[in-house]
Amino acid sequence: MSLAAMVMLACSGQRPAEPPPQSQSGAPAATGPTQGGRLVYAVSADANGFNPVTDQFAAQSYSMTGTIIEPLVAVAADGSWKPYLAESLTPSKKYDEWTIKVRPDISFSDGISLTGDIVKANLEAQKRSPLTAAAMMPIKSFELADPMTVKVVLNQPWVAFPYLLAVQTGMIVPPASLNDPKTASLKPVGTGPFVFKEYVPDNRMVVTRNPHYWRAGLPYLDEIEFRILPDTQTRAQTLEAGGVDAIGTSRDEDLTKFGAMKDQYTVHRAQGMAVAEYMFLLNTAVPPLDDVRVRRALAHAMDRETVIKTLRGGLTEPADGPWSKDSPWYAPGGYPAYDLAKATALVKEVEAEKGPIRFELISTPDPNTMQGVELAQDMWRKAGIEVSIKQADQADLINRAITGNFSATVWTQFSAQDPDGEYVWMHQAYAKPVGAISLNMTRLKDEKLSAALDAGRMSPDEATRKQAYATVQQRLRDQVPYVFVDHLNTGAVIAKTKVRGIGEHVLPDGEKGLPLTGSPIPYHPFTQLWVSER
């Protein structure tokens, strides 16, 4: 299951430029975007709701809701933050205050003008929300400096603060949505390129062109239907049969199959920091996984190369932490390598003191996911660890993870554009007792890890930050709150060749936007998508 399906995607910080997403296209050359047309786009799950203040946002939530509700900040192709609904964001010298100037002449689709007090009310609602309050914890207060300017006062320096406003916590809704959150969950209203038309739970969501959109000439499409198709194989079959125009997938066989049909389909893959890691999330607050020896045994028993060969068609690279080797933040060394003998020895040592090692592993019922879970179960059994598998739907799995009602679960995570984006998932301040909502779902409390995360968050010096995140990786490899497997660069969007503009959007200032982000299935904006034939 994807961390994108967790509470929110916390992206923060800047990074060097990454290569563009890999694309394959045999489509004939086009003269340029054309207005009109309808797109049917298959997503992997239904949204939990469309209200950014109250509802858990997953990749599909950002795809659907993002057509209607926009954020204050966007991310450029080079990973840097750029103002979106905001005209500018300016830090104080110590980075403990940020001033947000709201872009003028923007209205919500209900006719209300966007103002500083509406932005302030949204941010205050996010800080009060049980869902997102923890991520807003460093914020002390919001002040209205003038009708179009909001000052954010922080408890500590935060050099990457604007990235908090590029995700769920920065998405802005009108006063009516803040006053009636239940209606906003079902019928979203925003400043975006499309307006809500229809929603049928577990079936479809339909949006239509906003004729009063503030970005002149956009969007290109007249209508988008998001078709909810949870089963990976069904999505691929529906695309091939012509029932949808585009799908998200993480199956290597889909990349191979549709990639070979270049005259009919294009394949767009997320790359670089936008790629998450496939892993097993461990609850370090409950036995037997509260014993670091057990966690190290699980890591030593995990044959990552076999997983990649069996499940990924050899297309991915082994992961030994939250960042891949091509990341500027990567530091090598120290991860427990595959060593079945060492794993077995650790298991016997623990068993001599505490008895047999048994725990439950949670998975969504998707056949593709279950294949990986069963493979891990077999590897751990060979080391002497008894693992039972329990299936849960995505919503239940998420709730169990954040409340601590689990021992281990399959997981993907860590696709933020900078390491600070992972702060809330690792820092001990966010590790709450079992039963309480905890963004640090492993519940690991490690002083050295947390101190390094603080240093990376507060320092504007790149060398200091790199050293801090090297320490983060060292502590993760020592304490093993996650059993890392591989970097999921098989996540892709596959579309008919008539669908244009995927991963090619331009921001209001003229810079290219981040093409695709999130894993295992990436998402992207729809504002500048168009169809070359209707």
Q: What is the pLDDT of residue 31?
A: 72
Q: What is the pLDDT of residue 6?
A: 42
**Which residues pair with residue 487 across a beta bridge?**
277, 317
Closest CA to 24 of 522, 518, 503, 510: 503
User: How many angstroms separate the CA atoms of 183 and 346, rounded?
Assistant: 54
| Residues of the chain falling short of pLDDT 70 | 1-30, 273-274, 519, 534
Q: pLDDT digits over 69-127, tens only?
A: 999 999 999 889 999 999 999 999 999 999 999 999 999 999 999 999 999 999 999 99
Closest CA to 191 of 99, 60, 76, 71: 71
User: How many angstroms separate the CA atoms of 321 and 334, rounded?
Assistant: 10
Q: What is the pLDDT of residue 519?
A: 66
User: How many angstroms separate the CA atoms of 393 and 362, rounded?
Assistant: 10
Q: Write the DSSP symbol of residue 458.
A: H
Q: pLDDT digits over 319-345, tens only?
A: 999 999 988 899 999 999 999 999 999
Q: DSSP letters of 159-186?
A: TTGGGGGGSGGGB---HHHHH-HHHHHH
Residue 368: burial class (beta carbons within 10 Å; 0-12, 13-18, 19+): middle
Residue 201: burial class (beta carbons within 10 Å; 0-12, 13-18, 19+): exposed
**Cα angle vertex 295, ends 290, 296, to 5°?**
135
Residue 509: burial class (beta carbons within 10 Å; 0-12, 13-18, 19+): exposed
The structure tokens listed for 364 are 């969504």
The structure tokens listed for 529 are 């998508």
Q: What is the pLDDT of residue 252?
A: 86
* H or E segment to which residue 462 belongs: helix 462-479
The structure tokens listed for 164 are 């908090």
Q: Domain 276-488 adopts which CATH fold?
A: Dipeptide-binding Protein; domain 3 (3.10.105)
Q: Write the DSSP symbol of residue 192.
A: S
Closest CA to 334 of 184, 159, 200, 470: 470
User: How many angstroms separate the CA atoms of 484 and 478, rounded?
Assistant: 13
Q: What is the pLDDT of residue 428?
A: 97
User: How many angstroms separate the CA atoms of 144 and 310, rounded?
Assistant: 56
Q: What is the pLDDT of residue 315?
A: 86
Query: In sequence order, which ranges of 392-437 are alpha helices (DSSP H)?
Result: 394-403, 423-426
Q: What is the pLDDT of residue 533?
A: 73
Per-residue b or e along 294-304, where b marks 16 or more CB atoms closer than 10 Å to that residue's CB = bbbbbbbbbbb
3-state secondary structure of 448: helix
User: How many angstroms separate the CA atoms of 120 and 62, rounded?
Assistant: 22
User: How many angstroms separate the CA atoms of 135 and 112, rounded?
Assistant: 28
pTM: 0.84
What are the sequence ranges of the domains in the chain? 276-488
Handedness of CA 310, 311, 312, 313 (dihedral sign): positive
Closest CA to 408 of 459, 351, 347, 363: 363
